[in-house]
Amino acid sequence: MTSTRPSPVRRAALAALALGALGTIWAPGAWAQGAWPTKPVAMIVPFPPGGVADTVARPVADSLSRELKQPVVVENRAGAGGAVGIGAVARAPADGYTVLLSLSSISILPEADLILERKPAYQMSQFKPIARFTADPTVFVVRADAPWKSMAEFIADAKARPGTYNYGSSGNYGTMHVPMEMLKGQAGFRMTHIPYTGAGPAIVALLAGQVDALATGPSTVAQQIKAGKLRALAHWGDQPLASLPEVPSLTQLGYPVRFAQWSGLFVPAGTPDEVVQRLRTAAARVAVDPAVVQIIEKAGSPIAYLDAPDFQAYWDQDARTMTSAVKRIGKVE
């Protein structure tokens, strides 16, 4: 018998929409809300095209444009593992015309700056979360012509030849660097880290044979895996991946490390409540927009929507976990 109950994502989005309607009725000066937006909104993506953040941002921005009746324009501002773009939004006017589509690296970089004895590019307190859209366990991939057919083979080879192999990432302390360092520590092997400016360039480097492996979100490599160009050996999750059900988790293989590369929408902390509520309502609609769901799921990343309060709680917990992981990694120049 087919269930007619809405999915958890759809139930969460419907609840957010209901709260949004109440907010519109009761919020003081709520139709100040009607005055925003009166011009295009910039959506800053702190990584180059081709990575997880960009893959999510493009359909989300298109759908938000329809909801807000103003263009939402994606701007890629890459550099320093995401700190350049994230810092730019932290310093932007809190007027709703600059929003951030970031990955979980937003939780990592301030602690990394402290370890490197430099002033953080931003503080997490400078942001207000709007919605989480995806949350995917990272996957470990190699080229399809690589000799390793399993994670056990790769780890055994890496242990036998310490430092021989290298891996690419989106930058020091980024969401492709931290999970690899967690795995190296747990499994006891050494690899050389090669940082790039984002996931897109790192994947290009892997395909070109410049690096031997990398860890990234499923959505950025699903098409290359299907095309027979890359091979996934393991993932950092607890449950089977819908897009790669045959790929085992590292926990299953005896290495209890977990890492999720999530994507979420943020605004500067001082953004007016009326604008925040409008964005929350719009984001809830975006999360169930069939066009958005289809594009992101086709890329290999199911929607995992959370409205602002639940997202804040999730972010707080994730930040604590990531801060501990970065401290264990220590100083990386």
Express as a percent the part of the chain with pLDDT over 90: 77
Task: Please tell me the CATH superfamily of domain 139-235, with its number.
Answer: Periplasmic binding protein-like II (3.40.190.10)
pLDDT tens readout for residues 44-65 = 999 999 888 999 999 999 999 9
> Distance of alpha carbon 329 from its chain centroid, rounded?
20
Q: Is the pLDDT of residue 18 over 70?
A: no
Q: For position 8, what pLDDT does the model report?
A: 58
In which band, very low, low, confident or very high, does the pLDDT at 16 lie, cut at 50, 70 and 90?
low
In which band, very low, low, confident or very high, does the pLDDT at 13 lie, cut at 50, 70 and 90?
low
Residue ranges per domain, the chain? 8-137+261-329, 139-235
Which string of DSSP letters, residue by residue, matches 84-124? Answer: HHHHHHHTS-SSSSEEEEEEGGGGTHHHHHHHTTS--S--G
Q: For position 242, what pLDDT does the model report?
A: 85
pLDDT tens readout for residues 290-326 = 999 999 998 888 899 999 999 999 999 999 999 999 9
Residue 323 near residue 111 (C-beta atoms within 8 A) = yes
- Distance between CA atoms of residues 179 and 44, nearest Å: 24
Q: What is the mean pLDDT of residues 83-87?
A: 96
Domain spanning 8-137+261-329, CATH architecture: 3-Layer(aba) Sandwich (3.40)
Average pLDDT taken over every residue of the chain:
90
pLDDT tens readout for residues 206-257 = 999 999 999 999 988 999 999 999 999 999 998 899 889 999 999 999 999 9
Q: Is the pLDDT of residue 42 over 70?
A: yes
> Distance of alpha carbon 56 from its chain centroid, rounded?
9
Q: Do domains 8-137+261-329 and 139-235 have the same CATH topology?
A: yes
Three-state secondary structure of 319-332: HHHHHHHHHHHCCC
Where is pLDDT greater, at 31 or 269?
Answer: 269
C-alpha closest to that of 213 among 139, 138, 141, 149: 141
Question: Which 3 state secondary structure label does DSSP give 67?
Answer: helix
Q: For position 1, what pLDDT does the model report?
A: 42
Q: Is the pLDDT of residue 31 over 50?
A: no
Q: Is the pLDDT of residue 37 over 50?
A: yes
